[in-house]
Amino acid sequence: MGRGTGYGKTILIGDQFVLEGVPAIVSSIPYVTECVVERIDGTGWILEDNRKEVPGYKKSKEEMQKESINRILEVMKIDTSKIGLKITFGGDLLAGSGVGASAASCVALARALNDEFNLGLSIEEINHIAWEGEFAYHGTPSGVDNTASCYGGLMLYQLKGDEKIVEKIKVKRPIEVVLANSGVSADTRKLDELVENEKKKDPEGFKKKMDLITDQVFKVKDALERWDLETAGRIMTENHKILIDMGLSHERLIYLCNRAIELGALGAKLTGGGMGGYMVALTPGKELQEKVATAIEKEGYAVIRATVGEG
């Protein structure tokens, strides 16, 4: 029996444009997807998915999940025509768009298979395999989700050509955040199409937006390192306005962000691809976090209380 885990994640800024060379600030959150792999009689593989979910999420991702598992098995050269496997997912990460649920499952599965078959793979190899598994969900994945899920911590992530830049961000102490789910499951591949169409429609305007968001990302990084959380939150909110103008947000996400700010959050924006899934609100301090989380929960939304910036 092999076991593995993968962290959930949240992206504070830069989410949708990593493939355009824009940096992103991403952090793991202290919730995980767990995977257990067992050998069984017969051939092929069967799946038992016990993850808690935003209603409808697992069904909406069912075919993508099958494709992802097959891709990971193929990359790891595990031939289920000769051996039977049972794959079981669980853990305390709420499965939903925007918290790296697919990446966490890919990392957890790669680690569980590595454990069961004694492959001795390095963390870099596990991360690469998880990235391969993400193709089923994202078309061409940027690698930001699986990197956060695999390594943990708060980091700046950027693609420059074929180079992946990962820079750890050090903060004074972990920062409390609230993640609230819109109840809408987004298809990341459709989001990629929307971004591509935006780029084709107005190349010059698109480039200006990418330059502006890049500048915002580095300003948020600097503010976090200086522990100027008010500035970090303000820029996150300003960034969300750009995403709204580009059609990447959703009316429920807009409402949740505005509600969090009304309740005292220093900033709020969608997290992940957008058009559904989660928003993230910067709520430093347990008292503020609980105030925002409780109020939004009472309105019927699924909420995750988390911290960013842990090792």
**The pLDDT of residue 138:** 80
**The pLDDT of residue 95:** 87
**The pLDDT of residue 24:** 96
The number of residues in the chain equals: 311
**The pLDDT of residue 162:** 80
**The pLDDT of residue 200:** 85
**The pLDDT of residue 190:** 67
Q: Are strands 278-282 and 175-181 parallel, antiparallel or unpaired?
A: antiparallel
Nearest to 250 by CA among 196, 182, 191: 182
Read off the pLDDT of residues 187-213 as tens digits, 9 standing for 90 and up.
666 666 777 787 888 889 899 999 999
Three-state DSSP state, 211 = helix
Three-state DSSP state, 98 = coil
174 Cβ contact list (under 8 Å, min separation 6)? 307, 308, 309, 310
DSSP 173: S
Extended strands (E) in the chain:
2-13, 24-40, 44-49, 84-91, 154-160, 163-168, 175-181, 267-271, 278-282, 303-308
**The pLDDT of residue 188:** 62
- Which token pair is 240? 């969300």
Q: pTM of this prediction?
A: 0.87
Q: Which domains does the chain have, with CATH numbers?
A: 2-168 (3.30.230.10), 175-308 (3.30.70.890)
Cβ atoms 310, 153 nearer than 8 A: yes
**The pLDDT of residue 288:** 98
How many whole angstroms separate alpha carbon 138 and alpha carbon 199? Answer: 18
How many whole angstroms separate alpha carbon 71 and alpha carbon 242? Answer: 35
Cβ atoms 23, 218 nearer than 8 A: yes
Any alpha helices (H) in 182-309, and if so which ranges? 188-201, 203-225, 229-245, 251-262, 286-298
**The pLDDT of residue 119:** 97
How many whole angstroms separate alpha carbon 252 and alpha carbon 311? Answer: 32
Q: Which residues pair with 176 in a beta bridge?
A: 307
Read off the pLDDT of residues 88-125 as tens digits, 9 standing for 90 and up.
999 999 887 778 999 999 999 999 999 999 999 999 99
**The pLDDT of residue 16:** 82
Segments of the chain scoring below 50 in pLDDT: none
